Amino acid sequence: MAGDEWKDAIRRNYSYFKNNIADPLDVVEYLYGEITPPVLTENQKEQVKAEGTTSKRVGKMLDILLRRGPRVPQYLYQAFVETSNPECAERLAPYLLQQEKAALKKDPSEWPPPLEEHKAMARDHVTYLRPNDPCCYMQYDSEEVYSMRRERRGLVFIINNEQFLPGSGMSHRTGTKFDRDNLNKLFEGLHFEVIIKNNLTKEEIIKETKHVSRSDKIKDSDCFIFIILTHGDDKGVCGIDGSSVPVTELTEMFEPNNCSELNEKPKIFLIQACRGDKRETVNPSSGSGQVGSVGDGGGTQDSADAVDSKQFAEPNISATATVHSKSDFLIAYSTPEGSLSWRKTNSGSWFMQAVVWILKYEAHLKDLVEMLGKVNYLVSKGKASHGEHHYVTVSNYHSSLRKKLYFFPGIYGDKRVHPSCIN
């Protein structure tokens, strides 16, 4: 916290702490003996002990801590957690969370990111929580947050279409391998099992998706994530034969009547494909932002993609369903309906690069909806240069999630540290 702002975290709760800290001597001993270097000196510890009542000891301790520096709220929070003062820890958590969000890794210098920044991001690992981090403390057991407690969170199913068949009328999707590999690394780091299928026709997309929806792996999942990287048209996402599948046909396979194991659990669909052939242009001299260096220009766009808008009959809900069949879905698209989506041949699509960037660095502090807002922001900054024209797009999502979805990277079960987060 800048300047003396950190002191507000203590001052605003001063009276509450005086009345609610169970045993200030336990807190003082932790601050003296369990943190290196110690937050309190031995002399300061003795000054607190010399006070005659619990209230005066708390007051003395807090007065000393207000002179000790900006890291005090974090140390005091840890001390509260470790000395069975959870309500006091809860009072400090919002301040610490705000501080951590302010310290997040900076955004890329431009979008799409320069190749060296992209490569550096691809090498980085997911940022992990520790068991006593404020985000974990505030959200891990909340009824307003989806349960994500298993060591294996669930399943990520990725369809990556790169090599399109002769006669499909569609070009190869050069650069999609970067999206595939970076997404694989991201979600393994977020404790998911990842299944990848490459170069599927329309019928194979339907067959493999149906197989996943009936897989035993779904049964032990807290969450399911479907990702497709492909061309698209105004009817849906395309197989390598050029035929398309409506996105609704895929999502329906995971509704409670078809996949009861995911009832009341989050189901996330990330769609990288165009949804039409509309190209929206901007004039870079109008103040809309710096033109990004997209060297492969119009030659790197996908084909069109759009969600089927036809009405369909609602299926009968099975006895296992406890919420509306359309509940607990989030579907995110790389571009608006009717528009082109953009991809760089040497690093991947604008949208999936942004998904990986934001989730890798911010999933330890933010829920999915908040992060996708940031993804939309990054994608909207992109400018695809082609001749005198500069094209833009923006990713978007629609959600029927009923709770917040945090990934809690680095912990599972009873707030234990995941072995892979020791780094």
Model confidence pLDDT, tens digit, residues 249-283: 999 999 999 999 999 999 999 999 988 776 677 76
Residue with tokens 């009824």: 143
Q: Omega before 112 cis (within 30°)? A: yes
Residue 238 bears catalytic tag: no
Question: Can you give the pLDDT at residue 294?
Answer: 29
Alpha carbon distance 408, 129 (integer Å) = 7
Q: Which of 361, 357, 296 is nearest to 127 (CA)?
A: 361
pLDDT > 70? residue 213: yes
Question: Can you give the pLDDT at residue 306?
Answer: 28
- CB atoms under 10 Å from CB of 421, counted, come to 18
What tokens does 166 get?
């002769």
Measure the CA dihedral 177/181/184/190, to 10°.
-130
Amino acid identity of residue 315, one-letter, is: P
Q: Count CA within 13 A, CB hemisphere, residue 383.
A: 18
Specify the CATH number of the domain 115-421. 3.40.50.1460
255 and 325 Cβ atoms separated by less than 8 Å: yes
Q: Looking at per-residue confidence, does 294 or 248 come out higher? A: 248
Question: Can you give the pLDDT at residue 413?
Answer: 80
Amino acid identity of residue 177, one-letter, is: K
Alpha carbon distance 31, 294 (integer Å) = 52
Residue 231 bears catalytic tag: yes
- Under 8 Å CB-to-CB from 378, ≥6 apart: which residues? 107, 108, 111, 350, 354, 357, 358
Question: Can you give the pLDDT at residue 384?
Answer: 81
For residue 245, count CB atoms less than 10 angstroms from its CB and return exposed for 0-12, middle for 13-18, buried for 19 or more.
buried
Which candidate in 135, 223, 274, 421 is catalytic? 274
Give φ, ψ of 236 to 5 degrees.
165, -155
Angle formed by the axes of helices 72-82 and 86-102, to 10°? 140
Q: What pairing do the DSSP bridges indicate for beta strands 244-245 and 280-282?
A: unpaired
Alpha-carbon 86 to chain mean position: 27
What tokens does 379 get?
């994608």
Alpha-carbon 288 to chain mean position: 27
What tokens does 370 get?
């908040």
Which candidate in 191, 231, 390, 418 is catalytic? 231
Q: What is the pTM of this model?
A: 0.83
pLDDT > 50? residue 134: yes
SS (H, E, C) 267-317: EEEEEECCCCCECEEECHHHCCCCCCCCCCHHHHCCCCCCCCCCCCCCCCC
For residue 258, count CB atoms less than 10 angstroms from its CB and return exposed for 0-12, middle for 13-18, buried for 19 or more.
middle
pLDDT digits (tens, 9 = 90+) for 24-52: 999 999 999 998 889 999 999 999 999 99
Please state the domain extents for the chain: 5-102, 115-421
Mean pLDDT of the chain: 86
Give φ, ψ of 60 to 5 degrees.
-65, -45
Alpha carbon distance 177, 344 (integer Å) = 11
129 and 362 Cβ atoms separated by less than 8 Å: no
Alpha carbon distance 387, 234 (integer Å) = 26
pLDDT > 90? residue 286: no
pLDDT digits (tens, 9 = 90+) for 339-398: 889 999 999 999 999 999 999 999 999 999 999 999 999 999 998 877 777 888 999 999
Question: Can you give the pLDDT at residue 423?
Answer: 37
Amino acid identity of residue 359, one-letter, is: L
Fold that domain 5-102 belongs to in CATH: Death Domain, Fas (1.10.533)
pLDDT > 90? residue 19: yes
